[in-house]
Amino acid sequence: MPDTSVIPVFSDNVLPSMLIHLGVLDVSQSAYTAHHSAFAKLDVEVNLAYTATDVQGGTGPGGSLELPDVEEGPVLSEEEAYALRAAAVDACELLVDTAKNLNIGDHFEEYKWVKNLTLPELDGWLWAVAKKGQLRSLARFAQPGTVMY
């Protein structure tokens, strides 16, 4: 079985959008100012708090989880989406590299796992967080006519 711990993250519209909402990517000074306005009302502290708790929505008919509607995000051109997706891949690489080099020490034994964080694990965590409670309703960019890269 090949080693999958070094494959890059899957940078669709979810990861870049979540990285913006969590304050990892900053598009406030973007050349595409018409598009960043959809992300202008960010409250990074609140969004980060949602990632630290298990936020649950209500239940719908039959006891199924009632998910909030996803807020419509900006529609990007091919060039804009390419740049944002590439920035997300690079940011995730930097996050994992930084985690591996943290000086955690003995006082934070419960966080030693961070030093072994892989790109697929970070990718999976961001996806999982994006599907929880209030974070599910955050705006995500769109690129109509694109199936996959």
Residue-by-residue pLDDT tens, the chain, 149 positions: 888 888 999 888 889 888 988 889 888 777 655 555 556 555 656 656 656 554 444 443 444 444 455 556 777 888 888 888 999 999 999 999 999 888 877 777 788 888 899 999 999 988 888 877 667 777 778 787 776 65
Tell me if 125 sits within 8 A of 48, measured CB to CB: no
CB 66 within 8 A of CB 60: yes
pTM above 0.95, yes or no: no
